């Protein structure tokens, strides 16, 4: 497991936006960031799941989060720009952005993938992180040392049979991260990195490996040290890197 011990107040006064914050790794990230002092902006497509995370954060006495239901499959550029305006009015800056939401999509040979499924997955896994990053740049520039974390996968670093558009989308996310990172290097205080969570006990993992015993994999909460490291000031000089949470 990634060896990092986060101080309790690591993310105090930081504002961190997390996509797919209602479930799995995104939910754990939201709870962990809030528990380390951050004000988290919860983005996801199922309002009831986001509300449950919101309530859990409030009940724990952590900083009050912001709740923003948004379907990344149907959102248009204007929706991201409106969100950026709202966040600017409320917080004036964004210290962290976690591109976590993703679809697994069809696990089959690439030439069997239906065009519709390919386009749907690219919309959520690639186009949404691009449009969100682009619209948040002014807010990220307003933070003293902003961090963008692209949640990737091992199949986004080495292609593997039957991983379909999911694998291709994670290569695209890694590529987007590298281009943004290189452009910001030396010109701004924004860093872009990717993080491969590794096998983690979530519904996506269960869908990808239906025959696997879930308890063989760590819970999302156990892989949080790597997220905290990348979102806090200790990773200030880390830019353009592809890291592993386990």
Helix axis angle, 128-141 relative to 164-184, nearest 10°?
Answer: 20
The answer to whether residue 68 forms part of the interface with ligand NDP (CB under 6 A) is: no
Among 153, 178, 194, 235, binds ligand NDP (CB under 6 A): 153
User: Tokens representing 128?
Assistant: 């949404």
Dist. CA 122–CA 139, nearest whole Å: 25
Q: Which of residues 66, 110, 199, 243 is near ligand NDP by CB under 6 A?
A: 199
Which of 54, 166, 209, 229 is an active site residue?
166
Among the residue ranges 8-16, 21-29, 57-65, 109-117, the one whose residues contact ligand NDP (CB under 6 A): 21-29
Angle value at C-alpha 134, between 44 and 221, nearest 5 degrees: 40
Length of the chain: 246
Residue 151 sits in the site that holds ligand NDP (CB under 6 A): yes
Report the distance separating Cα 76 and Cα 82, nearest Å.
10
Segment contacting ligand NDP by CB under 6 A, of 4-12, 101-109, 139-147, 181-189: 101-109
Task: Please indicate whether residue 166 is annotated as part of the active site.
Answer: yes
**Site for ligand NDP, residues 27 to 46, rule: CB under 6 A:** 44-46
**Which one of residues 15, 16, 18, 25 is an interface residue with ligand NDP (CB under 6 A)?**
25
Q: Using alpha carbons, select from 53, 59, 26 the residue that is nearest to residue 221.
A: 26
Tell me if 194 contacts ligand NDP by CB under 6 A. Answer: no
Query: Distance between CA atoms of 72 and 125, rounded to whole angstroms?
Result: 9
CA 110 to chain CA mean position, Å: 26
Compute how many residues bind ligand NDP; rule: CB under 6 A.
28
Give yes or no for residue 106 binding ligand NDP (CB under 6 A): no
* Percent helix, strand and coil across the chain, each to the nearest 5: 50, 15, 40
Considering only 2-10, 68-76, 129-137, 140-148, which stretch makes contact with ligand NDP by CB under 6 A?
A: 68-76
Residue with tokens 């754990």: 28
Residues acting as catalytic residues: 166
Point out which residues bind ligand NDP (CB under 6 A): 19-20, 22-26, 44-46, 49, 71-73, 100-103, 124, 151, 153, 197, 199-200, 202-205
């Amino acid at each position: 497991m990634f060896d990092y011990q986060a101080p309790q107040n690591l993310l105090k006064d930081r504002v961190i936006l997390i996509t797919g914050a209602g479930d799995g790794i995104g939910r754990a990230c939201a709870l962990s960031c809030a528990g380390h002092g951050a004000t988290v902006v919860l983005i996801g497509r199922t309002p009831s799941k986001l509300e449950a995370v919101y309530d859990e954060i409030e009940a724990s006495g952590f900083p009050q989060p912001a709740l923003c239901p948004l379907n990344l499959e149907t959102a248009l550029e204007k929706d991201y720009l409106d969100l950026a305006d709202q966040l600017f009015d409320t917080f004036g800056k964004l210290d962290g952005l976690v591109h976590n939401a993703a679809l697994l999509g069809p696990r089959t040979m690439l030439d069997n993938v239906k065009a519709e499924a390919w386009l749907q997955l690219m919309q959520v896994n690639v186009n949404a992180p691009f449009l969100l990053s682009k619209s948040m740049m002014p807010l990220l520039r307003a933070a003293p040392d902003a961090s963008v974390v692209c949640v990737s996968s091992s199949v986004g670093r080495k292609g593997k049979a039957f991983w379909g558009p999911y694998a291709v989308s994670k290569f695209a996310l890694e590529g987007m991260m590298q281009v943004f990172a290189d452009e910001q290097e030396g010109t701004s205080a924004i860093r872009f990195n990717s993080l491969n969570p590794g096998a983690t006990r979530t519904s996506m993992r269960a869908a990808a490996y239906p025959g696997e015993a879930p308890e063989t994999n760590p819970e999302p909460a156990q892989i949080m040290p790597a997220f905290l490291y990348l979102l806090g000031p200790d990773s200030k000089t880390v830019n353009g890197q592809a890291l592993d949470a386990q």
